[in-house]
A and B are shown apart, each in its own frame.
Chain A
Amino acid sequence: MQAERGQHHRSVEVLASKLRRRQIVGSRTAALETLVVLRQVVSRARFSNFEQLVEIIRGVGRRLVEAQPKEHSVGNTVRKVLHHIREEYQTAVGQTGPQAGTSTSGFSISKFVLQGQPRRHVPAQKTEVKTTLKEDDPEDPDSFSKGLKPVLMEAIQDVLDELETVYDNVSKNARDHIHPDEIILTLGRSKTVETFLKTAAHNRHYTVIVAETGPSYDGREMAKSLSSAGISTFLVPDSSIFSLMSRVNKVILGAHVILANGGMFAITGSLIAATAAKAHSTPVVVCAGQFKLTPLWNLYHEYGAVDFGNPSDVLGFNEGELVNKVDVVNPYYDYVAPEFIDAYITNDGDHPPSSIYRLLKETYDDEDNEL
C-alpha cells in the first residue's frame, strides 16, 4: 500500500507542479491531464472497499485543486469521475445484490425534503449493501478492487471520450444558432467558440466581429483563424464594442467557469460586451463544454476580479518612469451574472442559466462539492 501511494504520488505531483507553474493552461487541457492521472491512480490503486477508493480519488483531487485553485476544470473532472464510478458501482452491486433501500429505515423527513418523494429507488447506504463483490474481504483484500476495476476504467474512459469530443459536440448544432447573414460578436480566443463558429461556417455565410480583448489581444489570433477558415471577419478594438453593437445580431462568448447560479467567469471584456448587448437587447450565448460547470455558488470575488495578470502587459516598461508612479490593474476574468446570459450551449444540450444548478446536480454528487 505504501509503495503504491508513493507511485501515485509521483504522477500526481508532476501534474500538480505543472498546474502550479501554469505549464498547463486551458481548462480542457487541465481536465484531460487530470483524467490521465486519475486513470493511472485508479489502475494501480489498492482498496478493499468502495469508501477507500473514493477517498483515494478525492485525495488526488484535493492535491491537484490545491495546486491550482483557479483551474476549476480539475476539480470538476475529479467530481465527474467520482459520480461515474459511483454509478458504475451502484449498477455493479445492484445487479448482483438484492434490491436495497426498500426498507423505511433510510427514509426520514429531512431526506424527504432533500430528495422528494421516494418514487425512484434511492441509493441506500453502501454499508447495507450485500454484494458478490465482497468488500473488506479478509481472505483476499484485493478481490473487491479486482472485480470493480474494469468498470472503473470504463467509467474514466467515458469521461475521457466525452472530453476529447467536447468541441465537436458543442458545435454540433452550430448552424441552428447562427442564421444566414448574421453578424456575430465575439471576444478573445476561446477554442470552443472558434470551433463553433467554424462549424457554423460550413452551412452559413455570416460575419464575425472580433474584439481584440486587451491586454492579451487574443482576439487578433482568433480573427486570423476565423478569416482563414473563410469567414468574413472584422477585427475591432474593445472600445468600439458599444457602437458596433447596434449592428450585431448575437454575442457569442466562451467561459472559463460556469457557476451554479448560472453566472460565469470569462475573459475580461466579457462583462462589458454582455452589458452592451443587454442594452441593445442583443442575445448573449455562451459556448462551453460541460466540464466547465462548477458546483460553486460563491460570488465572493464577484467584483474583486479573481486573478490578476502581469501589469506590464498593460503598461510596459517602455513607458519609462510612468510605470513606477501608477497602479496598473489587469484582471484575467470577469464575473458575468446570469441575467446577462441568454443561453449556454454545451455538449450536453442548450440550457438557460437558471437550470445550470439542476445540470450540476445531475452531473456531480453533492457530497463531492468539497473534495
Chain B
Amino acid sequence: MFDIHQAFRRSLQNPEIAYPLAAIIALTELIENSDAGTMFELVNAIRQGAETLKSKLENPIGVDAGCELFIAFVTLFHHESLTLTDLKRELIRQGQKYAEEAMTYRKKIAELTVGFIKDGSILTHSHSRVVMQTLLLAHQHKRISVFVTEARPRGLGLKTAEALIAAGVPCTVVLDSAVAYVMDKVDFVLVGSEAVVESGGLVNAVGSNQIAIIARAAKKPFYALAESYKFHRLFPLSQYDLPSHNSKILSFSSPSRPTRSASISRPAEDTTTASDPPTASASTNDTEPTSSTSITQQQICKTNPHVDYTRPDLISLVFSDVGSLTPEGVSQYLVGMFAG
C-alpha cells in the first residue's frame, strides 16, 4: 500500500524542497502507484491522498497550496484523446517536470529581487531558503548588511545569521522584540513565505505581521518572496481564520490558583492542574505560591502560533518566479488558476 505521507517525508529530505512542492511530488508518486480505473477514480484518489497528507500536519497551509495546484491542474488537463494509462503517464511526467522546473524558481526570484536591492541594510525574518539565495546573490553585486530576527520560538534566525556570516555578509541577530528599534536603520524588509493567499496577503513564520506593521509605521518597503507554488487559494479574514489556528493557541492555562468566582467547571485538559481538584481551597495555593510559577518554553510554544497572516496593504511587493507583483497581482494569478 502506497503511503503518501512517507513519500512526502522522503521528498522533504532534500533540503531544497518546500512543503508545497513535496506535496506535488508525493501526489505524482500516488498516481504512479494508483490502480484507478477511471479518471474520476484517479482524481478521487488524489483528493484523498491530499486529505491524508493534510491531516497529518499541524500546519497544513503549505501542503494545501501544493495539493490544490496539482489537483486543479489534473482536473483541467486535456485528456479526451488519451487513454487512462497514457494520461497517468503524462500527468506523472508533468508532475516530475514541474518539480524539476520549480527547483529553478528560487534562482529566478533571487535574480529578480536583486534588481531592487541597493547598497544598504536589509531586515529579514527567521529563515527562508529563497531569501537566503537572494541575499547571497545580492552580496555578490552590492554592499549589503543584514539584520535578522531571532524568530522565536524556533530561533531559525540564528541559522540565517550563521549562513550569512559564513558567506561574508555582515549580519546581526536582533530580538523579535527589537524590530521597532532597528527599523529606522534598514532600507527595507525582505521575508519569505509559507503561502501567499487570495487577498494578496502573506502567511509566514509568526512575527512577520508585526514586522510588516512596524515597517509601515516607519514607511519602509516590505517585500515578500514567494515561489508560485506557494500561491494559495485561501482568504483569511483574520489571524484566527487561518487553517493553522486551533483552540490551543492563545488558550489560557487553567489557573493554579482558582479565583473565587471560578464556579464554572473547566475542561480539565491541562494535566498539571487536572490532578488538583477544582475545589482546592484558595488558601492552599496561597501558601504555596511557588508551586507552578515557572513557565517552560515548551508551554509557551504550545499556546503560540507558528505562522501569522500579514494583510496585503502592508506588503509593498511580492517577488515571484512569475514576476514582481503587487499584492493585487497575486490574486489575479489565483483567479486565473482556480476561478471559472
Indicate whether A and B interact: yes
Q: How far is the CA of A261 from the CA of B70 in the complex (A)?
A: 30
Q: How does the 8 Å CB contact mask read for B293-308 relative to A, with 1 for contact and 0 for none?
A: 0000000000000000
Q: In this assembly, does A117 line the interface, its C-beta being within 8 Å of a C-beta of chain B?
A: yes
- Shortest Cβ distance from residue A278 to the other chain B in the assembled complex, whole angstroms: 13
Q: How far is the CA of A299 from the CA of B326 in the complex (A)?
A: 13
Q: How far is the CA of A357 from the CA of B333 in the complex (A)?
A: 12
- Shortest Cβ distance from residue A256 to the other chain B in the assembled complex, whole angstroms: 20
Partner of A297, one of B79, B97, B116, B337: B116
Partner of A357, one of B94, B221, B326: B326
Interface residues of A in 101-150 (CB under 8 A from B): 102-104, 107-110, 112-119
Overall SS of chain A's interface: loop
Q: How many residues in B have their beta carbons less than 8 Å from beta carbons of A?
A: 38
Q: How far is the CA of A183 from the CA of B332 in the complex (A)?
A: 38
Interface residues of B in 1-39 (CB under 8 A from A): 24
A113–B228 touching, CB < 8 Å: yes
B337–A108 touching, CB < 8 Å: no
* Residues of B contacting A104 in the complex (Cβ-Cβ under 8 angstroms): 77-79, 82, 90
A110-B98, A300-B115 given; A116·B333 CB < 8 A: yes
Q: How far is the CA of A261 from the CA of B223 in the complex (A)?
A: 13
- Shortest Cβ distance from residue A334 to the other chain B in the assembled complex, whole angstroms: 16
A116–B336 touching, CB < 8 Å: yes
Q: How does the 8 Å CB contact mask read for B207-234 relative to A, with 1 for contact and 0 for none?
A: 0000000000000010000001101000
B94–A113 touching, CB < 8 Å: no
Q: How far is the CA of A112 from the CA of B229 in the complex (A)?
A: 11
Query: From A299, which residue of chain B is reached at the shortest CB distance?
Result: B116
Q: How far is the CA of A116 from the CA of B69 in the complex (A)?
A: 11
Q: How far is the CA of A183 from the CA of B24 in the complex (A)?
A: 59
A112-B337, A113-B333 given; A354·B97 CB < 8 A: no
Q: How far is the CA of A108 from the CA of B102 in the complex (A)?
A: 12
A109-B70, A300-B116 given; A116·B98 CB < 8 A: no
Q: In this assembly, does A51 line the interface, its C-beta being within 8 Å of a C-beta of chain B?
A: no
* Residues of A contacting B322 in the complex (Cβ-Cβ under 8 angstroms): 113-114
Q: In this assembly, does A325 line the interface, its C-beta being within 8 Å of a C-beta of chain B?
A: no
Q: In this assembly, does B60 line the interface, its C-beta being within 8 Å of a C-beta of chain A?
A: no
* Residues of B contacting A358 in the complex (Cβ-Cβ under 8 angstroms): 329, 332
B326–A261 touching, CB < 8 Å: yes
B326–A262 touching, CB < 8 Å: yes
Q: How far is the CA of A104 from the CA of B79 in the complex (A)?
A: 8
Interface residues of A in 68-82 (CB under 8 A from B): none
Q: In this assembly, does A193 line the interface, its C-beta being within 8 Å of a C-beta of chain B?
A: no
- Shortest Cβ distance from residue B236 to the other chain A in the assembled complex, whole angstroms: 20
Q: How does the 8 Å CB contact mask read for B47-82 relative to A, with 1 for contact and 0 for none?
A: 000000000000000000000011011001111001
Q: In this assembly, does B95 line the interface, its C-beta being within 8 Å of a C-beta of chain A?
A: yes
- Shortest Cβ distance from residue B310 to the other chain A in the assembled complex, whole angstroms: 17
Q: How far is the CA of A104 from the CA of B90 in the complex (A)?
A: 9
Q: In this assembly, does A65 line the interface, its C-beta being within 8 Å of a C-beta of chain B?
A: no
* Residues of B contacting A366 in the complex (Cβ-Cβ under 8 angstroms): 323
* Residues of A contacting B72 in the complex (Cβ-Cβ under 8 angstroms): 112
A109–B94 touching, CB < 8 Å: yes
Q: How far is the CA of A108 from the CA of B70 in the complex (A)?
A: 11
Q: Count chain B CB atoms within 10 A of each CB in A109, A298, A354, A358 and give the residue with the most.
A: A109
A260–B324 touching, CB < 8 Å: yes
* Residues of B contacting A110 in the complex (Cβ-Cβ under 8 angstroms): 98, 101-102, 228
Q: In this assembly, does B46 line the interface, its C-beta being within 8 Å of a C-beta of chain A?
A: no
A116–B116 touching, CB < 8 Å: no
- Shortest Cβ distance from residue B211 to the other chain A in the assembled complex, whole angstroms: 19
- Shortest Cβ distance from residue B82 to the other chain A in the assembled complex, whole angstroms: 8
Interface residues of A in 264-306 (CB under 8 A from B): 297-300
B336–A357 touching, CB < 8 Å: no
B325–A357 touching, CB < 8 Å: yes
A119–B340 touching, CB < 8 Å: yes
* Residues of B contacting A300 in the complex (Cβ-Cβ under 8 angstroms): 115-116, 118
Q: How far is the CA of A366 from the CA of B98 in the complex (A)?
A: 21
Query: From B327, which residue of chain A is reached at the shortest CB distance?
Result: A354
* B-binding residues in A (CB < 8 A): 102-104, 107-110, 112-119, 260-262, 297-300, 354-355, 357-358, 366
Not counting A112-B76, A116-B335, a sample of 20 additional A-B residue pairs whose C-beta atoms are within 8 angstroms of each other reads A104-B78, A104-B90, A108-B94, A108-B101, A109-B70, A109-B95, A110-B101, A112-B69, A112-B337, A113-B69, A113-B228, A113-B337, A117-B337, A119-B340, A261-B317, A300-B118, A354-B328, A355-B328, A357-B328, A358-B332
Please name 5 pairs of A and B residues whose Cβ atoms are closer than 8 Å in the assembled complex, sorted by A: A103-B78, A109-B94, A109-B97, A114-B228, A118-B78
* A-binding residues in B (CB < 8 A): 24, 69-70, 72-73, 76-79, 82, 90, 94-95, 97-98, 101-102, 115-116, 118, 221, 228-229, 231, 317, 322-326, 328-329, 332-333, 335-337, 340
